[in-house]
Amino acid sequence: MAVLRILGIDPGSRYMGYGVIERNGSRLRYIHADRLVLGNMPFTERLLKIDAFLGELLALYEPDCAAFEGIFHQKFADAAIKLGHARGVAICACARFGIPLYEYAPTDVKQSVTSFGRAEKAQVADMVRILLGVQNTWPVDASDALAIAICHANRI
């Protein structure tokens, strides 16, 4: 079986988590993870930064596919709209590179990584470290992105 490189993306309007893993048969290998800090710059500039950053990330790591967490219910409409815009920019960046996209519900990601669909973020991060065999600690956005990538690796 060929090695598959997967990019997990946890988009947001203030921070975007990303994580790259490889799957070779049933083995997972950690490549890189972090988060892009978008801060308080004007919203349109944040969207441009997401697009430019993902272009660089996709060129550098050359993933075979990308996985996103599906949209979940937001309490505030404005936050949901901004998240949708950030997510759309990330999806377009991947599409521009011809990278197949996959989407998973948040409960499916948690279930895949922890065997419990309502796991807390700390539980998810702990299991990500165990599954990837590393001791790294990442910002929560990055460990979420790795969990999304692991979920995809487990589904294909």
Average pLDDT, rounded, for the chain: 94
Q: Is 108 a catalytic residue?
A: no
> If you ran DSSP here, which 8-state letter would residue 111 be given?
H
Closest CA to 57 of 127, 5, 3: 5
The domain covering 4-155 belongs, at the CATH homologous superfamily level, to: Ribonuclease H-like superfamily/Ribonuclease H (3.30.420.10)
Task: Please state the domain extents for the chain.
Answer: 4-155
Q: Is 34 a catalytic residue?
A: no
Is the full-model pTM beyond 0.75?
yes
* Amino acid letter, 48: L
The strand pair at 65-69 and 15-24 is best described as: unpaired
At 1 the pLDDT is 67
Catalytic pick among 64, 69, 103, 144 = 69
Q: Is 141 a catalytic residue?
A: yes
Q: In which band, very low, low, confident or very high, does the pLDDT at 74 lie, cut at 50, 70 and 90?
A: low
